[in-house]
A and B are shown apart, each in its own frame.
Chain A
Amino acid sequence: MATSGTAEPTRRDFLYLATGAMGAVGAAALAWPFISQLQPDASVLAMSSTEVDLTQVAEGQIVTVKWRGKPVFVWNRTPEDIAKAKATALSALMDPVARNANLAADAPATDENRAAEGAGREKWLVVIGICTHLGCVPIGHSGEYDGWFCPCHGSEYDSAGRVRRGPAPENLAIPPYKFVSDTKISIG
């Protein structure tokens, strides 16, 4: 404040401080709606789940469906694919965590924890088709590990969607999904 106080400096200083603090609080509170509006809105948050009819996916085939604007790969794996994934030791993995939204956050990245749960369902692999490096969509049935190969920066994934060669840091994420019948899953 430009004026030099002569009388009762403490009371005046308190008044100035209180007013200034009040103004700062008001400005901060006013900023909140402008920031808050950036978050996904209610209609996006409530966006519906996606259902996939598994009878349309032949053995060995990978289909891509859209869920929340993102590609999700549904792979009907052959017994060889499964065997290869099961044979891989956890110690050989770059990312030993399952990254499965349906399991605990620290579940190990075994094939059991990556594939669909339940008897006769282990051939199904459902992963979000976004490379964990910088968000490109990897190409299926390619790369050295017979899983996915990301054309952007060369990351490779195996037949359980686990990252085997960098620069991607994590396994392909598994979205929340459940079997609504033996031949139908609902993602989200």
Chain B
Amino acid sequence: MSGHSTFEPKHPALKWFESRLPLVGLLHSSFVSYPTPRNLNYWWTFGGILSLMLVCQIATGVVLVMHYTPHASMAFDSVEHIMRDVSYGWLLRYMHANGASMFFIAVYIHMFRGLYYGSYKAPREVLWILGCIIYLLMMATAFMGYVLPWGQMSFWGATVITNLFSAFPVVGPTIVEWLWGGFSVDNATLNRFFSLHYLLPFMIAGVVVLHVWALHVVGQNNPTGVEPKSEKDTVPFTPYATIKDGFGMVCFLIFFAWFLFYIPNYLGHADNYIPANPLVTPAHIVPEWYYLPFYAMLRAVPSKLGGVLTMFSAIIVLFFVPWLDTSKVRSGRYRPLFKQFFWIWIAVCIGLGWLGSKPAEGGYVIAGRILTVWYFAHFLIVLPLLGLFEKPKAVPASITEAVLGKNKGGAPASAGVSAPQTKG
């Protein structure tokens, strides 16, 4: 396992090129020889899965634009034209629509993994914040993309979300009119959303490059949260991580294909198959599932501005997690209390998501308030206090020690050819 060498080109032509632009060397050191902690579990494959989903969304999106018409009177029919007349149009459109949901499923798992194993802690704060920016950009992109088919949910989703900005005093109404480019959501709104929906994914791709760059500066975290101390603690990215990521990706694609081919409209709304009608609001306005927890928080607060601020704060608070968590121990694996609070917080998020899909009345609102308070308390009270009061379990001295300990001190690391296989 001494594959951590730097890239040395042998072919003269490649040598010539490398001395002018060390591109292959960069790729080699980033994706081949890059040292990866040997104990990464399958939760770490979601970074690769997310890259795959970003590529999938951009590729299908570019192709869909070849057939889509961004005009209030033609958008709905042009999407149906894709579904009916374009060769494999139904496949590409369903890939794009379901791909957005898959992207969010993967990003939530990726974020939860980071939160559980303390991947945001020093020295990975910048890496974490870049991730939060990507998440914000994803939300904006997905929102504008959902407007493009110009169905009832597109239209009313756009109306409700843009109206959030009217909550800001003095400038609010002007901001909203400027967002709309008119006095209501209309053709001008559709066109600018279309333009931005095409632009933002490339900005996401740019921030992803920074995210990966930051990752490769500080190195990957791992389930123990102990930094690699020797070469024994790591393996080269290729083939070890690549093959594992590849397996993770294909498993994820099976999950994706289940929705894509068999229940492609499950994650959407029936109302979005009704063309937009500015005169009639659907009975139940519900955002896409990935916004539901935030939607529940918005409705939990009785004041308009308060609700909007609460909702935005729920995302902004994530940026400060590296400093809110005061614990000296990084991984949740060795933090018995944190572990429990983590799972409670996950349940709170799911509960908020469920409440977001319910009408804003009676018990739902009260439950929404309790869970919203808990959501913020987790970050603002629980995380700071836990670091002070919690007694963590003993942390292993190194990754290798943790791995061998788990395998009951079996064969030495690099010669354990016949060692029993452990779960991935």
Contacts and interface: CB of A to CB of B under 8 A. Distances in A.
18 contacts: A2-B239, A3-B239, A6-B417, A23-B246, A32-B88, A33-B87, A33-B91, A34-B92, A37-B66, A37-B86, A37-B88, A37-B89, A38-B66, A39-B87, A41-B81, A41-B86, A41-B87, A41-B89
B176 to A, nearest CB: 37
B85 A33 contact: no
Contacts of A6: 417
A37 B239 contact: no
Interface string A11-47: 0000000000001000000001110111101111000
B84 A42 contact: yes
B67 interface: yes
A1 B240 CA distance: 10
A42 B89 CA distance: 11
A33 B88 contact: yes
B411 interface: no
B2 to A, nearest CB: 10
B238 A2 contact: yes
A33 B239 contact: no
A23 to B, nearest CB: 8
Contacts of B91: 33
A37 B84 contact: no
Contacts of B85: 41-44
B403 to A, nearest CB: 18
Interface string B67-93: 100000000000001001111110110
Contact of B87 (A7, A23, A37): A37
B201 interface: no
Contacts, number: 43
Contacts of B67: 37, 41
A114 B239 CA distance: 66
- Interface centre among B87, B92, B236, by most A CB within 10 Å? B87
B89 A2 contact: no
Contacts of A42: 84-87
B22 interface: no
Interface in A65-124: none
A30 to B, nearest CB: 9
Contacts of A23: 246
B282 interface: no
Contact of A1 (B63, B66, B88, B239): B239
Contacts of A44: 85
A2 B3 contact: yes
B199 interface: no
A165 B32 CA distance: 62
Contacts of A2: 3, 32, 236, 238-239
A41 B84 CA distance: 9
B27 interface: no
A33 B417 contact: no
Contacts of B88: 32-33, 36-37
A34 B87 contact: no
B59 interface: yes
A179 B348 CA distance: 74
B81 A33 contact: no
A128 B66 CA distance: 27
B63 A37 contact: yes
Interface in B90-126: 91-92
Nearest to B81: A43
A142 B104 CA distance: 64
